Amino acid sequence: MDQFREDSPFVKANGGGDIKNPLMDVRVRKAISMAISRDAIVDRVMEGVALPAGQLLPEGFFGVSDKLDVVAYDPDGAKALLAEAGYPDGFELTIHGPNDRYINDAKIAEAIAQMLTRVGIKTAVETMPRSVYFGRASKGSPEGLPEFSFILVGWGAGSGEASSPLKSLIHTFDADAGFGSSNRGRHSDPETDALIEEALRTVDDAKRQELLAQATERAIENVAIIPTHFQVNTWAAKKGLSYIARTDEYTLATGVVKE
């Protein structure tokens, strides 16, 4: 979500007029999160081959928090928060996303648009091939900034720990230092940054685990991004063979073992 421009390119008042970017208000971001039914996405869009998400990585990965639950679907609560933030009649928004990168990516965007429209945020959807999408999402504006206001992306933590999405998706964008490379909404919180950087400097596993969990908790509380679901990967093998699943989702011959 665009959190750095007061004039966001794909956010409008009802009827199409200009409006100060409501996505900069944490109450609006929380309302959007509450308006999304993760269970519906998992059951109807992903046909059960996914898990509802309440944080950046699922249980079993290093650095996840045991204090975070999946945000409950609460459209009435979402409407109340929008009214509290000064948008009782909602606003207009466009979701952009790829249509050939993630499983059911375009369908997910369409489902979320319907959910947001139900709480008063009239939402359109525009999807495109990933070869076009990611460049525009990163530096597509005339100023070389992210072009879109609200986007669908996915993340795979090949390292197996929460430092991967925290460093790239959540930390304040800093190209020179290598932080926030995929932080296209330009979320920025100094306290979260400090926790991430301290975790990256920490060798002790127990301490690093706690720091990563704290950074994750703060990022979710601030609604830096809105996790929806964890995609489940499926492998099949003939009798007598099994495959060791990888966090980077690759399928490599070296992972096949004889039982």
Look at the alpha carbons of 222, 224, 229, 235 in this order and tell me if their dihedral is positive or negative: negative
The per-residue pLDDT for 221 is: 98
pLDDT band at 158 (very low <50, low <70, confident <90, very high): confident
Long-range contacts of 54-57 (CB under 8 A, 24+ apart): 54/220, 54/227, 55/216, 55/220, 55/227, 56/155, 56/157, 56/162, 56/165, 56/166, 56/169, 56/170, 56/216, 56/219, 56/220, 56/225, 56/227, 57/157, 57/161, 57/162, 57/165, 57/230
Q: What residue type is assigned to position 41 of the chain?
A: I
Contact between residue 7 and residue 23 where contact means Cβ atoms under 8 Å apart: no
Local structure of 123: helix, strand or coil:
strand
Structure tokens at 121: 């945020």
Whether residue 102 has pLDDT greater than 90: yes
Structure tokens at 36: 């999304």
pLDDT tens track for 38-83: 999 999 999 999 999 999 999 999 999 999 999 999 999 999 999 9
pLDDT band at 249 (very low <50, low <70, confident <90, very high): confident
Mean pLDDT, rounded, for 157-182: 94
Whether residue 125 has pLDDT greater than 80: yes
CA angle 156, 168, 2 (to 5 degrees): 105
Residue with structure tokens 């199409």?
Answer: 16
Beta-bridge partner residues of 231: 50
Whether residue 247 has pLDDT greater than 80: no
Structure tokens at 97: 């996303």
**Range from 29-38, 132-141, 154-163, 206-215 carrying the lowest mean pLDDT:** 154-163
Q: Which domains does the chain carry? A: 1-36+71-154 (3.10.105.10)
Q: What length does the chain have?
A: 259
Chain-centroid distance of CA 188 in Å reads 15
Between CA 189 and CA 150 the distance in angstroms is 19
